[in-house]
Amino acid sequence: MTIDPSQIARYDHGSRIPGWDDAADLEKDPAGIPDAASTPVPEDLRVEIEAAIAPFGHEHRRSAAIPALYAVQKRYGWCTPEGIEQAACVLQVTPGELTAVATFYDMLETRPVGRNTVYVCTNISCSLCGADELLAALRAEVGDDPDFNLRGFECLGACDIAPMASVNGDYVGPITLDEVPALVAQIRAGEEPLPARQLTARRSADPKAAGSDA
């Protein structure tokens, strides 16, 4: 895909980038640590984040940033600005510090997504075994179902079951193209995805590993 810059409209201020002429409001204070009195945090979220801080201790509480954002994502479906504000309040860091983390990692969502997470590995080993076709077939089968968060993903560390997908955290593979409709139907129905193809059911490939002294 090539983008022709001349086809992108310019704004009145002459740039193609929105907000180019908006001056930063220098009077405004930078966002500080949210005030506990004015930031209501749901009790279960607070408990979960405080449990994540415990192994690190108060001094290194920022280490709990990723678990805290996972907790926010679990509760609200994605890392909402309000959720980040609440987590920042419990962690006693600025919301900006958490936003920086949320935007860095692939598994933290910074916009609303469907509740069924399906990552299809499209890295070298999987694509040699047909992962791009698998992703296309899944895309076609899922269509515009808003319940799905279907993404091509970098190597998921399961090249032995290529082509594979991580369905709500369960590794499934190898998936053939004829199994795609059944898989999508199972995900829609909230059933176990292709139970016989799950990684947990797979035995080691190494012949020596199969009970050498048994």
Partner 1 sequence: MTDILLFKDIDEPGLNTIDVYERRGGYRALRKALQTPQADLVDQLKGSGLRGRGGAGFSMGMKASFLPQGEMQKYVVVNADESEPGTFKDRELMQKNPHQLIEGIVIAAYVVGATKSFIYIRGEYQHQADVLDAAIAEAYARGYLGADVLGSGVDCELTLHRGAGAYICGEETGLLDSLEGKRGNPRLKPPFPANQGLFQGPTLINNVETLSTVPHILELGAETYAEIGVANSSGTKLVSVSGNVQRPGNYEIELGMKSRDIIYGLAGGPPEGREVKLWFPGGSSSPVLTKDDLDLTYDFDTLAKSGTMLGSGAIIVVDDSQSVVDVCEKLAKFYAHESCGKCTPCREGTNWTVKMVGRIKDGTATPMDLDIMASVQDRIIGNCLCVLGDAMAMPVGSMIAKFRGEFEAEIEAARERRERAFMAEVAA
Name which of residues 38 to 57 contact partner 1 (CB under 8 A): 55-56
Q: Which of 127, 136, 139, 177 binds partner 1 (CB under 8 A)?
A: 127
Q: Which of 50, 76, 170, 186 binds partner 1 (CB under 8 A)?
A: 170
Shortest spacing between CB 23 and partner 1, in angstroms:
26
φ, ψ for residue 191, nearest 5 deg = -90, 170
Burial letters for 82-119: b for 16+ Cβ neighbours within 10 Å, e otherwise? ebbbbbbbbbebbbeebbebbeeeeebbbeebeebbbb
Take residue 22 and report the two structure tokens written for it: 């908006």
Say whether residue 119 binds partner 1 (CB under 8 A): yes
Q: Which stretch binds partner 1 (CB under 8 A): 19-27, 30-38, 64-72, 140-148?
A: 64-72
Say whether residue 108 binds partner 1 (CB under 8 A): yes
Q: Which amino acid type is present at position 50? A: E
φ, ψ for residue 97, nearest 5 deg = -65, -35
Which residues of the chain form beta strands (DSSP E)? 116-121, 148-153, 165-167, 170-172
Bridge partners (DSSP) of residue 167 are 118, 170
Q: Which amino acid type is present at position 27? A: E
Name which of residues 189 to 208 contact partner 1 (CB under 8 A): 199-200, 203-206, 208
Q: Judged by CB, which is closer to partner 1: 27, or 56?
A: 56
Rounded Cα distance between 30 and 71, Å, is 25
Q: Which of 136, 159, 177, 182 binds partner 1 (CB under 8 A)?
A: 159
Say whether residue 3 binds partner 1 (CB under 8 A): no
Say whether residue 166 binds partner 1 (CB under 8 A): yes
DSSP-derived letter for residue 191 is P
Rounded Cα distance between 19 and 57, Å, is 41
Number of residues that bind partner 1 (CB under 8 A): 56
Q: Which of 124, 147, 176, 181 binds partner 1 (CB under 8 A)?
A: 124
Q: Which amino acid type is present at position 136? A: A
Shortest spacing between CB 111 and partner 1, in angstroms:
16
Residues that bind partner 1 (CB under 8 A): 2, 55-56, 60, 62-67, 69-70, 93, 97, 100-101, 104-108, 119, 122-125, 127-129, 153-162, 166, 169-171, 199-200, 203-206, 208-214
